[in-house]
Each structure stands twice: as structure tokens, then as C-alpha cells.
Structure 1
Amino acid sequence: MVNPRPQSTAPASTTADRGGGTAEPSWPLTTWQGWNRFAATDPPTPPRPGDPPRSTEERLACHSAFVTIRTPAISTLATQVRTLTILGRHQQTTARPSLIVTGPAAAGKTTALLHVSRACHLAHTRKNPPPPGSAHAAVPVAYALVPPGATAKTLITEFARYLGIPTTTRMTQTQITDAVCHTYTAAGIHLVLIDEIHRLNPRTTTGAQAAGLLKDLTERLPATFVYAGINLPDTPCSPAPAASKNRQVDEVQAVFDRSGDWPRASRRAVPHCRPLRGVGRLKCSPRREGIDRGP
């Protein structure tokens, strides 16, 4: 699985092309340029039998990209996101239902979240292509990363940075929030992803203010919010307890675990490996078989 943190998987390539051109600018996923490049870039294709051998650099580049296998957990997450998005379209008076993706560290939460949101991005752009002559592509998805020790103002600044909304140190939180809500609504964003949500602690003053900001955004933006964090039901460092108490969101938890359906899903995703299961296998000795079978 890929480590999809914005620092390490910026969609734009930083290497020069084969023709010796200059390096392309690298944008993180927390900006629209980086997200659009990530969503529009096709996943790497594995080499086929008979292809010329690849160099070490090419093999490392292919392995570093990785290919996300659509496990049952990812399928469940995709279904829940689509369902909540449809429900949110017809809910105008109160905060729209949101989704909380939780699980242990390094379980693939962000990978699954990016995989599902990329599919939503591509489906929306196919159904709603930009009009002829328009220089602006559709902006259906927004991705924000909660910074460590985030306050309400630093958090809303992350939302502004995604679409390049200019901000200054003299601007108040209310001014930045108004600009973000106006721009996000005009851009047509209908899915907002908030990662590392466990960094917020609503039991502190700054954490409670940041959680209140998220509640305000869910009521003002016509979008479905998806939160991702580590072990959210088991820790107070998340907006989940406050959200449940205030009925801010409808918690639909997609728990990711390292065990369970992963081996079966990986075998189904690589069907061409099945005929090779018996090749090179050692037969068990009669003594071993007797131990396995029992008395």
C-alpha cells in the first residue's frame, strides 16, 4: 500500500522527462494543483511478459507508486461516500451527514480515502465536463490536512490554501471563513476530505474552537465531509464525541484492520497468480501429515 501523505506523494513529478526537459513543479495534495494532478494521473501499469527489462531507477519508481487493491473495506467506504453524497444533495436546512474513517495507524485509511475520492472526482468530471472555452476545470473534491496543534484560524487557512485563496495575517478568522465558504460554493465542491482529524482535541480551548469551525463549515457548505483519523472511537482527541453530542454529524465508521479480508482480497485482485500456487511447493512428509491430522 502507498503511504499517501501529501509530503511524500505529491502528484506532480519532480524528475526531468526523457527528453532532458526541466523538472515540473511539485504540488502537495493539499493544493488544487496537486490534487488535480493526482486524480488525472493514471495508475502505473505493471510490465508485461516479453517487455525489455527495466532499469533499477524505473523499477524503483514503479514500486514507489504502488497499486491500490480494491478490498471489501474500500468498496464499503465507496458505497458509504456515494450514499452520503446523494443524501446531502437533498438536505438544505441542517448540517449534512458526514463520515468518519478510523482504524489503527498504518492501516491504509488515507490510501483508501484518496482512492475513493479520486473515483468520485473522475466520475464528476465525466458527467460534468467544463463548458467549451472554459479555462477552469471542475473542482468536486477538496483535501485538507489538520496541522499539529491546529487552531481554528490555522485550520481554516488550510482550506483557503487548497484553492489558493489569498490570506493575510491581519485577516480575522471570520473573514477567511467567509472567503472559503463563498469560493468553495462557487467552485462546486461537494466532497471535503479532512485527514489527521485525531490531532484535534475538543477538550481543550483551541480544539473546541476548531471543532466548532468544522461544525460551522458543514452547515454553510453544500458538501459532504469525510474525516480520517487514528482510533477515533477510543480517544478523546477527535471531534467525534462533540459531534455526536451536538448531532453535528451522523457517524458512519469504516474501521480498517490489518487482518481479516486482506489476504482473500489480494488473491482475488491477482488472479493470474492462482495457477502458480502448486509450483515449487514441498510436499509434507508422512510424519508431518500425521501431526497435522492428529490422532
Structure 2
Amino acid sequence: MSGAFYSLSRKEGWRRYVDAPARRQPDRLTTAQRARLGEQAREDYDEARHDWHANFGILRTPQLAAVHDELERIVFTNRQDPDRIRGAAVIDALPGLGKTTIANVFARGFDRAQIRRHGPVTDEGHERIPVFRVGLTSNTTLRTLNRMICEFYGHPATNRATAAELASHAVDCVLSCQTRVGVIDDVHFINPGRKDGLDVSNHLKWLANELPVTFLYVGVGLAERRFFADGLIGDNAVLAQTARRWTRLPVPPFEVASDEGRAHWRGLLKATERQLVLTHARPGMLTDLADYLFTRTSGHIGSFVTLITRGCFTAIRTGTETLTVDLLDTVRIDEASEQARNQLAAAFAHGRLATTPTRQRAAAS
């Protein structure tokens, strides 16, 4: 099984992610060409296709493009002097909508631009690290947050320092390496209603005050959890600093209730078709299944990619070499999509939903 093994929560892993060249799409061989391959060559070819389908290029969906436009505006206008507060961005959406991918891809592009413009070493001779990235856990405390930031940079004192010392080390790392963007994933694990969660939330504000960094947070259902209210309720909620400092960027799922939404959905299917390396793939292979694919995935990009990736694996393994309803029906994906499937199928069957544009349906009738 191929694939690289590294963590984006360490600078070495992040550097590999940022500097990795684009993967090369395997050639699409005909049945005759595949038949001429020896057994080992055919296994290698299939292995290359499995790896490609699990990692093909990022699909620039309307959701990704919209959030990236906002992030660019926020990051590139955060040019305030260190004595002024910088605004933060938070990507807040349901699971399976590509939040982390959107954040990572933006941060990777920013990192590449900074290195290209300013070089890999600062004027003081330190390694330039334009972006740091950490992911929180369900038991993140103030000390573990500081430790995770220090571990990203590879600071040697992470295991024996106090929380205050770790915070000082984290500030030193950011300033020395001239970091400009900090990505903090899974912030929904912070519960401002609990003391340890409130401590972490307040510490994030302190870091934002102390560091010349634009923070990019990623989380699930933060607005519904009243995360922006800092644990305050009633009239006191107006005192919440988070709601004033963070710009919330939602990521909606695909929808097919409007012609614009239908066009976006079919655009996703067409873009995905071009990425698939199956012998019997053809234009329209996915768009002909537009209703079915929406029924299976509820318009969630994560569920869609999982279904397609597993479907391609099955198509190659069984020799079918194409994606059909019968084949995809053998593939199970996340439970949320499976539970919503029957209800969506009924909506399509009764004409309450459709992926075909209104004008095209009118002409057909």
C-alpha cells in the first residue's frame, strides 16, 4: 500500500505537505492495453490507480472558492502593527463538508507564497515557518495547547516546561520564525461553559493579542453550541469578545432546490469524472447518476468523495471498470448518509427534488 506517512501537526510534516508536487494522474489504459501488461505490472498499475483515486486533486467547489475569497481578504488586510488586534476567521459547518481541507489548502497556498517572496530563512537566520497548524482534542487544556504549538516547531523544552513557560516558548517560536497564519482545527472540543474550556478560550484571545498572526479556526456547529458567546448567557452574551473578533465562514452542503444549486452539483460531477482512471469511464458516467449520487450523499462533499473512492476501488477490483448504480449500491458509506437515503429517494421519486435544470425538465416534458 502506497502513501506518505507524516503529521500536519509537526513542521516537518507540514513542510512535506506544502512542498509536495502535484500527483501525476495515471494513464487511462484500454482493455487491450491492460491485457498486454504482465501480472506484476497490472498489479502496480491498479495500485497506482487506487492511490490516485484516494488522493486526486482538490475540487475547487463553489464553497471552497467562496471561503478562500473571504480568507484572502481577512489575512491580507491584517497588516496592523503589533499593538493592534487582528481579526480571526473561523470555518464553521457540519461534518463532511470539507472544512479542514479548505483551511489546509488555503494555508498551503499562503505558505508557498511567503517562502517564494521572502525565502526559507529570516534575516536573523531562523527557519521561516509562515504557518503553524495544530488540532485540538477532547481533553485540551491551556498547557496542552501551548505544548502542541511548541511541538509543531520542534521546541526541545515541551516535556518539562510549565504552562506559562510553554506559552513563552510558543511566542518565541512564532516571532523567530515569522509565522503569519495559525490554523487551529477542531475548536469544537473547547467548551467555554467549563472552566478548562474557558481557560483555553481565553488563552486563544491572549495569543491573538500577543502574536502578529491571523488565526484560522475550524470547528463543527460552533454557532449552535453558543461558542461565540464565550459561555455567557442572557444579557451578558453581548460582552462576548469572540463574537466581535471572529468572522464566521459557513460551508453549506450542495443543494438541488434551485437551478444554481443544480448547476453546482452537476459541475462537481463533471469535474470528478475527469479525475477517474477507469477503463470504461466516459463523459456522463456520473452526471447520468446525478439524482442517485445526491440521494446517497445528501450533498456532502466528504460523503461524495468517500462513495466515489470506494466505488472506484470496487470497480477496479471486480473488473467492472465503471461506476453504475448496481456497483455503488454495494458500497456503504457514513451512517448519516445511509439514514437520509430513503427520505431523499422518496423526494426524488415524487418530484420534490431534481438535479436536472428546470428548463431542461420542461423541454423533456
Partner of 2:229: 241
Q: Is the 8 A contact 2:10 2:151 kept in 1?
A: yes
Distance in 1, matches of 2:72 and 2:27, equals 34
**CA separation of 1:33 and 1:254: change in aligned 2, threshold 3 A:** same
Pick the aligned partner of 2:201 from 208, 211, 226: 211
TM-score, structure 1 as length reference? 0.77
Partner of 1:251: 246
List aligned pairs for 1:95-114, cutoff 5 A: 95-114=85-104
Q: Is the 8 A contact 1:99 1:226 kept in 2?
A: yes
Q: Is the 8 A contact 1:139 1:187 kept in 2?
A: yes
- TM-superposed CA distance for 1:277, in Å, is 3.9
- TM-superposed CA distance for 1:181, in Å, is 0.3
- The one-letter amino acid of 1:242's match is D
Distance in 1, matches of 2:176 and 2:112, equals 19
Pick the aligned partner of 1:127 from 86, 107, 117: 117
Pick the aligned partner of 1:142 from 132, 146, 152: 132
- More helix, by proportion: 2
**CA separation of 1:131 and 1:184: change in aligned 2, threshold 3 A:** closer
Q: Is the 8 A contact 1:144 1:194 kept in 2?
A: yes
Q: Is the 8 A contact 1:72 1:265 kept in 2?
A: no
SS at match of 1:89: coil
Q: Check if 1:266 corresponds to 2:268.
A: yes
- The one-letter amino acid of 1:276's match is P
Distance in 1, matches of 2:215 and 2:267, equals 28
Pick the aligned partner of 2:180 from 190, 193, 199: 190
Partner of 1:30: 9
Q: Check if 1:60 corresponds to 2:62.
A: no
Distance in 2, matches of 1:164 and 1:272, equals 40
Q: Is the 8 A contact 2:92 2:99 kept in 1?
A: yes
Distance in 2, matches of 1:241 and 1:102, equals 15
- TM-superposed CA distance for 1:27, in Å, is 2.8
SS at match of 2:157: coil
- TM-superposed CA distance for 1:79, in Å, is 1.8
Q: Is the 8 A contact 1:147 1:155 kept in 2?
A: no
**CA separation of 1:60 and 1:77: change in aligned 2, threshold 3 A:** same
> Which gives a bigger RCO, structure 1 or 2 (Cα 8 Å, sep 6+)?
1
Partner of 1:3: none
TM-score, structure 2 as length reference? 0.63
Q: Check if 1:155 corresponds to 2:145.
A: yes
Question: Identity of paired residues, percent?
Answer: 20
Q: Check if 1:39 corresponds to 2:8.
A: no
Distance in 1, matches of 2:14 and 2:160, equals 28
Partner of 1:231: 221
Q: Check if 1:181 corresponds to 2:178.
A: no
Unaligned runs of 5+ in 2: 35-43, 232-237, 256-260, 276-281, 289-360
Distance in 2, matches of 1:110 and 1:154, equals 21
- TM-superposed CA distance for 1:190, in Å, is 0.3
- TM-superposed CA distance for 1:171, in Å, is 2.1
- Bigger shift: residues 66-75 or 179-188: 66-75
**CA separation of 1:140 and 1:168: change in aligned 2, threshold 3 A:** closer
**CA separation of 1:57 and 1:267: change in aligned 2, threshold 3 A:** closer
Distance in 1, matches of 2:119 and 2:75, equals 19
- TM-superposed CA distance for 1:93, in Å, is 2.4
RMSD between aligned residues: 3.3
Q: Is the 8 A contact 1:85 1:224 kept in 2?
A: yes
Distance in 1, matches of 2:270 and 2:68, equals 18
Unaligned runs of 5+ in 1: 1-11, 15-25, 282-291
Q: Is the 8 A contact 2:121 2:128 kept in 1?
A: no
